[in-house]
A = this chain, B = another copy of it.
Amino acid sequence: MALVVQKYGGSSVANVKRIKNVARRIVKTRRKGHHMVVVVSALGDTTDDLLKIAKAVTDKPSEREMDMLLATGEQVSVALLAMAIQKLGEKAISFTGPQVGIITDRSHTKARILNINAERIRAALREGNIVIVAGFQGKTVGEEITTLGRGGSDLTAVALAKAVSADRCEIYTDVDGIYTADPRIVPDAQKLDRISYDEILELASLGAQVMQPRSIEVGKKFNIPIHVCSSLREVSGTLIAKESQKMEDVLVSGVALNENEAKITIFKVPDRPGTAAKIFKELADSNINVDMIIQNKTETNSTDISFTVFKNELTRAMESVKQVAEKVGAKKVLCDEHIAKVSVVGIGMRSHSGVASKMFDVLAKNKVNIEMISTSEIKISCIVHSNKGKIAARAIHKAFGLGRK
């Protein structure tokens, strides 16, 4: 008899039929004798619909009021799911995030969880209930309703798993698990049975968006094993857990392709301390996310700085960069939208040399020119021309033996 936390995303509860399906799955687990806490997202496109109506009311909705508005989506889900479970003859009770004491900071629309007082959940479990909790939301100590940002229900699930000392945390999605690459791009990509927190973190921020990165950070911090499974099919998914000896034997776990970035290069930036800081502070102040940053000093008094940003923020980024480039006395600013980022991730590469050289070799053999390189302990990323991205991903996937045998 275990204590299981399950999380179901919006597409799993998009309509009445799916809500009933999810209820049946939950009841099945319950009848195996397990205690259950279930976290649910808003029904289907509810959140987007609410965003749309807010936009129709005002172009700049206050973040506090957005949280009041958006938090209703999950509250609808939990009530309906509790009803569906009761209909199947099991005891169930729904709660909002505030009701179960999910206390956050005051950063509306992207609040961070500070603390969870799980006493109310424990009491409801003791009474024999399946406890249904609204994902994505919490409250401040001042009783203000907050939301945790996109994908926040994952965070709710992992944080609750910690708070109630769950034996298992299961994240149900519309994919079967985590793959060695995106199967739409690399057809023989394989499902991974197990992956480490660090690897999935690198994969998530690289664009293989299966789970919200912050929820994995919490899982890693408290060592909570997270199972990613399909809510549609009964297949074993992928276990996200701390690395094992066996895992380190695998050189590379996955290949990621990100085609949503653009490159900006600032030429001949005067080589003075604090110049780079000025540039990236300007971008941070404009709320622009910067991914790869490369600086390579080749001349005596100046340097070129390149970095990548999201394509949909490129126009705003260029405005900011041009201003600051003039201020610091740089020569010119150019951008390139025709790029793709190919990355390999694997904790095995920490202790094995040769991953980088093998990757570069594969790219060369496939006539893919490398524009930028960036590495971390468990990741190597290369920027290539956008029309070579898919070729590069497939070739690397094959070269590291990740495909089906």
Enumerate chain A interface residues (CB-CB to B < 8 A).
Answer: 16, 19-20, 50, 53-54, 56-62, 64-66, 68-69, 71-72, 75-76, 78-80, 82-84, 86-87, 93-94, 96, 99, 120, 143, 145
* A96, B79: Cα distance in complex, Å: 17
Q: What is the distance, in angstroms, from A310's C-beta to the closest C-beta of chain B?
A: 27
Which residues from B are CB-within-8-Å of A65? 79-80, 82-83, 86, 94
Q: Is the CB of A19 within 8 A of B57?
A: yes
Which residues from B are CB-within-8-Å of A84? 57-58
Which residues from B are CB-within-8-Å of A78? 68
Which residues from B are CB-within-8-Å of A93? 64
If A53-B80, A65-B82, A68-B94 touch, whether A87 touches B75 (CB-CB below 8 Å) is no
Which residues from B are CB-within-8-Å of A58? 83-84, 86-87
Which residues from B are CB-within-8-Å of A87? 57-60
- Other-chain residue from B20, B57, B96 in contact with A20 (beta carbon distance below 8 A): B57
* A50, B43: Cα distance in complex, Å: 13
Most buried by B among A50, A60, A61: A61
Q: What is the distance, in angstroms, from A200's C-beta to the closest C-beta of chain B?
A: 33
Q: What is the distance, in angstroms, from A64's C-beta to the closest C-beta of chain B?
A: 7
Most buried by B among A59, A78, A79, A96: A79
Which residues from B are CB-within-8-Å of A19? 57
Which residues from B are CB-within-8-Å of A120? 143
Pick the 9 closest A-B CB pairs, nearest first.
A69-B79, A68-B79, A72-B72, A58-B87, A16-B56, A65-B79, A58-B83, A61-B83, A65-B82
Q: What is the distance, in angstroms, from A25's C-beta to the closest C-beta of chain B?
A: 15
If A16-B56, A99-B143 touch, whether A80 touches B86 (CB-CB below 8 Å) is no
Q: What is the distance, in angstroms, from A18's C-beta to the closest C-beta of chain B?
A: 11
Q: Is the CB of B16 within 8 A of A57?
A: yes
Q: Is the CB of A83 within 8 A of B99?
A: no
Q: Is the CB of A62 within 8 A of B75?
A: no
Q: Give me 11 other A-B pairs in contact (C-beta within 8 A), A62-B82, A68-B78 excluded.
A: A19-B57, A60-B87, A64-B93, A65-B80, A65-B83, A68-B75, A68-B79, A69-B76, A69-B83, A72-B75, A72-B76
In the complex, what residue of chain B is closest to A144 when comparing beta carbons? B99
* A200, B259: Cα distance in complex, Å: 67
Q: Is the CB of A79 within 8 A of B66?
A: yes
Which residues from B are CB-within-8-Å of A56? 16
Q: What is the distance, in angstroms, from A85's C-beta to the closest C-beta of chain B?
A: 9
* A60, B82: Cα distance in complex, Å: 12
The 25 sampled A-B contact pairs (Cβ below 8 Å) are A16-B53, A19-B57, A54-B83, A57-B80, A57-B83, A57-B87, A58-B83, A58-B86, A58-B87, A60-B87, A65-B79, A65-B82, A65-B83, A65-B86, A65-B94, A66-B79, A68-B75, A68-B78, A68-B79, A68-B82, A68-B96, A69-B79, A71-B75, A75-B75, A96-B145
